[in-house]
Amino acid sequence: MWIHNIDPTLVHLGPLEIRWYGIAYVLGFFIAVWWLNYLRKKGKFPLKKDEIWDLAFYLLLGVIIGARLFMIFWEPQIYLKNPLNLLKIWQGGMSFHGGLVGIITAGYYYSKKKKISFLKLADMLSFPTMFALALGRVANFINGELVGRVTNSSICVVFPGFDECRHPSTLYAALKRFLVAGWLLWLTLRTKYAPGFIFWNFIFWEGVGRFIVDFYREDTLYAGLSLGQWFSLLMIIVGIYVFIKKYRKDWIKVLSRV
């Protein structure tokens, strides 16, 4: 058992606070920019240096807007009653599935604007996006939020505001995402696949991981599953369909190299 006593704020500067949660987002942003510049230098990314910064801005905007809008599904009593609460980002609350929809929308718009392949762009963004999401779950743990279900496990944590010992489900989610990020990195560097194959690996394995990890997370259930699990189940089903329909040869290629 461990008692959670981590300060979510790294630095206090009068009324200004620098929080670990914000640092995770900023770090994820710069990792994505660095990765795309690395691919550009290798001749694997079609955009110029300045255009990469423009793309990163679009993606960041898409993540924030999508993640906040989808909070309506999780806490309608807060955001439908007063929609202006959606603008209060500093109060926390970012939906992964909403952020995913937002970043896909922003990436698709930018790819059309620059007349480049959306699927190739999505493939290149898959690794840094998953890595940044893993950092976000570590930040969730530091904040003491999204707590797990009550357990007597030896690795349980007593979170602020709770008396019972609970699963550190956000750390489970972070570990899962670091593993998926490693898989996506291996796919990206290993060999060439049909456009979109790495992106759909992102969708499928994140869906599988989220569906499993949410069994350890304290959440409202609908017909036995959390809302996140229902969204993740949709990701899994669509992912399997796309793999069978378009990427059979790519999976054969992967399995021959594992």
pLDDT (tens digit per residue) in 136-159: 899 989 989 889 999 999 999 999
* 73 lies in some domain: yes
* 257 lies in some domain: no
Whole-angstrom distance, CA of residue 109 vs CA of residue 107: 5
What total number of domains does the chain contain? 1
pLDDT of residue 155: 92
* 16 lies in some domain: yes
pLDDT of residue 89: 64
* 258 lies in some domain: no
Q: Which residue has the tokens 């679009």?
A: 58
Whole-angstrom distance, CA of residue 146 vs CA of residue 14: 28
* 244 lies in some domain: yes
Domain limits for position 161 = 2-252
Whole-angstrom distance, CA of residue 157 vs CA of residue 139: 15
Torsions phi, psi for 182 (to 5 deg)? -65, -40
Question: 14-18, 90-94, 112-116: which range is least confident on average?
Answer: 90-94
Q: Calculate the average pLDDT of the chain.
A: 89
* 242 lies in some domain: yes
* 113 lies in some domain: yes
**Using CB atoms within 10 A of its CB, is residue 28 exposed (0-12), middle (13-18) or buried (19+)?**
buried
Q: For residue 205, how far is the Cα from the chain centroid?
A: 12
Whole-angstrom distance, CA of residue 91 vs CA of residue 71: 12
Q: Which residues contact 27 (CB under 8 A, 6 or more apart)?
A: 132, 135
pLDDT of residue 192: 86
Strands (E), the chain: 2-3, 9-13, 16-19, 157-158, 221-222, 225-226
* 186 lies in some domain: yes
Asked if 98 and 68 count as a contact pair (C-beta separation under 8 A), the reply is: yes
- Give per-residue pLDDT as tens, 161-220: 999 999 999 999 999 999 999 999 999 988 789 999 999 999 999 999 999 999 999 998
pLDDT of residue 208: 98
Counting residues of the chain whose pLDDT is more than 70, the rounded percentage is 96
SS3 217: strand
